[in-house]
């Protein structure tokens, strides 16, 4: 469940992820909002994505190349 995955994530990673992914902001713009360097934002977003991957893996969803839950899509 994506809600559980977000809830279990560190708050600072969740806020960076949501600004970048949902709001469509860049790392520099997100950093300006949060008062952080873009590099810190990038690290937090990467950590958030790893957290989501871990949540999906633990939930038993197939890894890359397999079918994914309907609430997860791949963005390139």
pLDDT (0 to 100) of residue 68: 57
Q: Per-residue b/e over 23-43, b at no fewer than 16 CB within 10 Å?
A: eebebeebbeeeebeeebbbe
How much is the pTM? 0.74
Residues 27-71 pLDDT 10s: 999 999 999 999 999 999 999 999 988 887 777 655 555 555 555
Q: How far is CA 41 from CA 26, 52, 55, 62, 74, in A?
A: 9, 16, 21, 28, 21
């Amino acid at each position: 469940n994506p809600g559980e995955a977000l809830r279990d994530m560190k708050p600072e990673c969740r806020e960076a992820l949501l600004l970048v992914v949902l709001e469509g902001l860049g790392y520099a713009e997100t950093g300006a909002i949060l008062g952080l360097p873009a590099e810190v934002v990038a690290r937090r977003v990467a950590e958030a994505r790893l957290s989501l991957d871990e949540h999906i893996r633990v939930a038993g969803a197939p890894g890359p190349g397999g079918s994914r839950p309907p609430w997860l899509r791949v963005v390139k």
